[in-house]
Amino acid sequence: MKIGFIGLGIMGAPMVGRLLDGGHQVFANDLNPIQPEILEKGATQVSSAKEAAEMGDVIIIMVPDTPDVEIVLFGENGVAQGLSSDKIVVDMSSISPVETKEFAEKINARDCPYLDAPVSGGEVGAKAGTLTIMVGGDQTTFDKVKPLFELMGQNITLVGDNGAGQTCKVANQIIVALTIEAVGEALLFASKAGADPAKVRQALMGGFASSKILEIHGERMIKRTFDPGFRITLHQKDLNLALSNARKLRMALPNTAFAQELFNSVAAQGNADLDHSAMVLALEKLAEHKVCE
């Protein structure tokens, strides 16, 4: 299959690698130079999102935020200008569910189907091909693209119509943020009480408190390895989507708001580009104690 892929960052580059390993042609576009290893694997660099759309039968977008997707789709030399009938547009970014529906309608008007398919699993999952992929769109288009999804992920679910994938991703990010906060509190409590946080984590991994976040991010908190990963600034964006949409739904997300304030605190210290496991830095400041020196 010929694939146009726009956005080869921390997540996008390994996703392209998986597609190339699956034998597909990839026409890659990014604001930054394409990584040499991706070109060595056989990707073709193109000069614009329009050209990626012209060359691909499926066009995949993996960029940071809602305005970025809008520019990639509808800006100068954007995807929309390179589309012809029946090309499939797949947005795997994490963006606003409301605007996703608007983007889908505009692409559908060009006689092209649209899927929103945000992912969870971070850089580790992107490299391993174990991402969770939450899809919004119609069954026929989903079935056509599913073989590509299967190269990049394992837990792949058609959640509903356009926008449902993004809604699911927002829910995912609420759970992830609150679990990072819980793991940070627990390890910090154990450490300040005099227990070895590494051994506490090891013990908890065998019980009901076990989770991927305890496994991966708990280790990062102990080892102080906060290189992204998934940057705090991106999780702030996702929680802002949760909180703004909650206001529209006239509901409260009190713990989500608290998690966002912890992220805001870390960002205010100049650490917005650290991995989101670095939320623990805000908790450590409140406790005047570190999980591990």
DSSP 290: -
Which one of 106, 144, 169, 248 is the catalytic residue? Answer: 169
Residue type, 102: E
Q: Residue 29: helix, strand or coil by DSSP?
A: strand
Q: Cβ(43)–Cβ(60) under 8 Å?
A: no
Residue 29: alpha-carbon gap to chain centroid: 18
DSSP string of 88-145, one letter each residue: EEEE-S---HHHHHHHHHHHHTTT--EEE--EESHHHHHHHT-EEEEEES-HHHHHHH
Contact 183, 217 (CB under 8 A): yes
Is 106 an annotated catalytic residue? no
Q: Give every CB contact of residue 63 below 8 A, 6+ residues apart in sequence.
A: 6, 7, 9, 69, 72, 93
Residues noted as catalytic: 169
